[in-house]
Structure 1
Amino acid sequence: MTTQKHSQPAHRSQPPQPARSNPALTRAFELLGGPWNGPIIAALAWGPADFAHVRERVPGISDDTLADRLQDLTTVGLITWITRPGPPPHGEYTLTAHGNAFLIPLAALTVWAQDHLPARGSPASGEPLVGQAPLPHDGGAADVVALLPPS
């Protein structure tokens, strides 16, 4: 029996690194992988909101899940709770500077998903057709900015 040697391509000087070798990328995807985190951040991009308004902006999320995600996003410093005076005093969630900085990659990810991932209910997804038409765009920087709320 003859065994065949497999050689490394000439352009590869080091062995491939495991996927977790990039700590920053790992942290980013751990955040993105948290259920509802992206939609909550996008909902707060439109401005501060109390719990009920965040829930309205993120349809389908349960109160318990929303409370957990808001706490998680507060802990990592993407959102903050601010107290508003007035009768009655109340509080709102708002994006921090770090949360606002996350809007650009979030918008870019939205454009990528529209171009490369089948929508739920699309013929390519194998689910019944119940979705909306995607936003028209050409993939340029102006499209990313268009996905962000007005300032």
Structure 2
Amino acid sequence: MLTNGGCPKTALSIKDALEAVEGRWKLLILFSLSGGSKRFKQLSKEVPGITDKTLSKELKNLEGNKLITRRVYDTFPPTVEYTITDHGKSLENVLEALHYWGLAHRAVVIEK
């Protein structure tokens, strides 16, 4: 188990991690991409409630953090696919832990 022990580097690393995945949508996008490469419209359908403008912004941010890659195919109209990187895949255990924690949280707090 990770303990703080007053170490500023621990706080800084947690801050960095949270900034990379902060917000309402990034983890859901990563979860969707963990199933394989997707086009923009596929992601839009798999992340319910997200607007196209927000999805575009979040994809650029995830790409900037090297969590996903964007590949443009030379077609007309251009085809763009998004893929989770190995760095992004390293969050799979975090996503799984959040999934199980969310189930427990729902049982304790939401569905009491």
Q: TM-score, normalised by structure 1?
A: 0.61
Unpaired runs of 5+ in structure 2? none
Partner of 2:106: 118
Secondary structure in 2 matching 1:83: strand
C-alpha displacement of 1:101: 1.3
Q: What aligned pairs does 1:89-128 form with structure 2 within 5 A after superposition?
A: 89-115=78-104, 117-118=105-106, 122-124=110-112
Partner of 1:5: none
**Structure-2 change in CA distance of 1:23 and 1:69 (3 Å):** same
- Residues 29-87 of structure 1, C-alpha deviation per residue, up to 9 Å, x if partnerless? 22332220100000111111111111011011011111110010000000010123556
Amino acid at match of 2:102: A
Q: Which has the larger radius of gyration?
A: 1
> Which protein is richer in strand relative to its size?
2
Identity %: 31
Distance 2:74 2:96 in 1: 33
Contact 1:79 1:95 in 2 (8 A): yes
Q: What's 2:27 paired with?
A: 38
What is the CA–CA distance in structure 2 between the aligned matches of 1:46 and 1:33, rounded to whole Å? 21
Change (3 A) 1:39 1:19: farther
* Alignment-mate amino acid for residue 61 of structure 1: I
User: How many residues are matched?
Assistant: 107
Measured in 2, the distance between the counterparts of 1:32 and 1:118 equals 22
Give the superposed CA RMSD: 2.4
